[in-house]
Structure 1
Amino acid sequence: MMMAMEELQLPLERDLFFRSIIRTLAGSLEETVGPEEAEGYVSIVGSEIGNWIEEKYCEALGRDKLTPQEVAEVLVDLKRRIGGEFFIESVDDDKIVLGNRKCPFGDLVKGRPSLCQMTNNVFGRISANQAGYSKVDIQETIAMGAPGCHVVVHLRPEPTEDIEGHEFFRVKGPAA
């Protein structure tokens, strides 16, 4: 007797399906245009998503201006909501330092560093819109084989000149 299709034990569900699509798209881009150009495409999406996420958090909190501590909490919370395990290592007026034990993409991120541009751009966009400036330095990633991620979000341009990372500037009206 044949088992009913809905009774089959398959690792297919919506979240895994969409993560697999994104990983495959990132891989296709990396193989077609190269890793750096693929990061550029993913960056565009990340920046737009970052604007949208920041808007949603500000609406929910009932204000436009967040402290660096609140920005750090937003970054950790949004990653928690999508399956990551980010945590705050430290926060001050100059920078936010975060760690991570689990990527929202799970094991699908391994070997796909362009996917880290989502984190880079979402964190950068939210932070820059709040602080006026940010530079995101992703120092370690699960995608490149580290056991976790280590991310530093600089909130002032002066001390970051010699630091690796991507710079972001406020793209909306000044936060009050």
Structure 2
Amino acid sequence: MTNALNRSVTTLKLSLERDIFLRTLIRELSGTLQDVVGLEEASGFISVVGERMGTQLNQDYKSALEVSNLSRKQVADVLVDLKRRIQGDFYVIEQNNEKIVFGNRACPFGDKVLNRPAMCMMTSNVFGTIAASNLGYAKVELQQTIAQGNPGCRVIVYLKITEDAEDAEGREYFRGVESA
């Protein structure tokens, strides 16, 4: 009887595998944080994780590229590549010495990000940490996000303190430290 039950359970048509399980876990954790401590505090907790991940990813890319520092172009390429590797669809809309503007057609969290804007702090902190670590400064503005119901994302990474950067809503990052 136990073998028959095991076979019938293992053949069930469920959309459950590690990726979906982990994305759902992160969604529920961020949702619980948002509900219990509020969006701002939840974003803060997720920011800590994003900063740590950004530091590790930055080191991984610099080691793989065999460089001690990434150039502005390499920063843009790395940010697009890391999102591609985790099934995001980021692309560069514009870049110059003052900013890099990214678009995105697919969130790595898929539909699990809907109504969970705190999860976007992963992007902000990973992008900000990598850009600031290599270029000295970054301010990340999440102008549009899939989490907020937009069809795509628009993320601006300011690389210099300019009037546009000062007027933008976002989080600032400095080489070695991050501040809200």
Return the letter of the residue paired with 1:25. L
Asked if 1:59 is matched to 2:66, the reply is: no
| TM-score normalised by structure 2 residue count | 0.92
Structure with greater proportional helix content? 2
Match of 1:139 among 143, 151, 157: 143
Q: Which residue of 2 aligns with 1:16?
A: 20
Quote how far apart the aligned CAs of 1:5 are. 2.2
| Equivalences, count | 172
Separation in structure 2 between the aligned mates of residue 145 and residue 127 of structure 1, nearest angstrom:
27
Q: Which residue of 1 aligns with 2:115?
A: 111
Asked if 1:168 is matched to 2:154, the reply is: no
Asked if 1:101 is matched to 2:95, the reply is: no
Quote how far apart the aligned CAs of 1:146 are. 0.4
Quote how far apart the aligned CAs of 1:36 are. 0.6
* Residues 113-132 of structure 1: pairs in structure 2 closer than 5 A: 113-132=117-136
Unaligned runs of 5+ in 2: none
Quote how far apart the aligned CAs of 1:158 are. 3.0
Return the letter of the residue paired with 1:31. D
Q: Identical aligned pairs, as a percentage? A: 49
Alpha-carbon RMSD across the aligned residues, in angstroms, is: 1.3
Separation in structure 2 between the aligned mates of residue 8 and residue 76 of structure 1, nearest angstrom:
37
Q: Which has the larger radius of gyration?
A: 2
Match of 1:87 among 83, 87, 91: 91
1:12-61 Cα distance to aligned partner (Å, 9 max, x none)? 10011001000000000000001110000000000000000000000000
Unaligned runs of 5+ in 1: none
Quote how far apart the aligned CAs of 1:65 are. 1.6
